[in-house]
Amino acid sequence: MSEPPREPLDDTDSTSHTDQERMSAMPLIEWDEARFGVRVKRFDDDHRELVHLINDLHSAMKSGQARDILSGLADKLADYARLHMTDEETTMERHGYPQLASHRQEHAQFAERVAEIREAIRTGEGVSAIDLLEFLQAWLFNHILGTDRMYAPFFAARKVR
């Protein structure tokens, strides 16, 4: 006996809805060690945390809750700037990294922008979630994939892990 012919799937069935849900649950940025890693574990862990913060903001934006998380996110970014950047700069200083001054300057610009964002939230000026997301993505792709990746061979040669 042969099977009855199958009905064609229509675009509105539950499968396409499930695919849409899965797509919306996907992070904006997936951590990829080969792409983002600088081969210093604690720095990679910090960078991974920044990717999580970016994804949290993006997810909140998609669900209409960005305003609810902006203050807490800005506080986490300030902590990130203080702790991670101090650790990076101290390690660079300890090992005589030749680009320390310019690296420190980039960090200062990031920290200054985060302070401005926190102040705007505190005073009720408001912060655009889209602007914050674009700022963080630019930092990730320009600083971490650019400036930070340049120190990877320097630290690897000195066995900084």
Contacts of 113 (CB under 8 A, 6+ apart): 135
Kindly report the CATH class assigned to 45-157.
Answer: mainly alpha
Q: What is the pTM of this model?
A: 0.82
pLDDT in tens, 71-126: 999 999 999 999 999 999 999 999 999 999 999 999 999 999 999 999 999 999 98
Contacts of 104 (CB under 8 A, 6+ apart): 89
Q: Cα Rg for the chain, rounded, in angstroms?
A: 21
